[in-house]
Amino acid sequence: AEKVSRAGLTFAQYLERMEQASIVNSLDNLMTFPRLRKLIERGAVATHGAYFGVAMGELSVLDKETGAFRKVG
């Protein structure tokens, strides 16, 4: 997992980054289960990462190609 740096971020931004990193870490962890990994590789199962910022009421989804969370709507 990528290390999250606090440099140049407000505390709230840092926390958001940490929360999002946890989602990415969870998705990576799912790939350690052999059966699930095979299903994902075959296209029978898909995983998605999503982050809901409660304070602002904003939903973001993980773009697997860039690794960035993009706001929805």
Higher-pLDDT residue of 68, 7: 68
Q: What's the predicted TM-score (pTM) here?
A: 0.85
pLDDT for 70: 96
Cα 49 from Cα 65, distance rounded (Å): 12
Determine which helix (DSSP H) or strand (DSSP E) holds 46, and give its type and residue range: none
Of 52, 50, 15, 45, residue with least CA distance to 30: 45
Distance CA 10, CA 14 (A): 6
pLDDT in tens, 43-64: 999 999 999 998 889 999 999 9
Averaged pLDDT, 59-72:
95
Task: State the average pLDDT over residues 20-33.
Answer: 96
Residue 23, classed as helix, strand or coil, is helix
pLDDT at 1: 57
Average pLDDT over residues 5-11: 88
The amino acid occupying position 24 is V
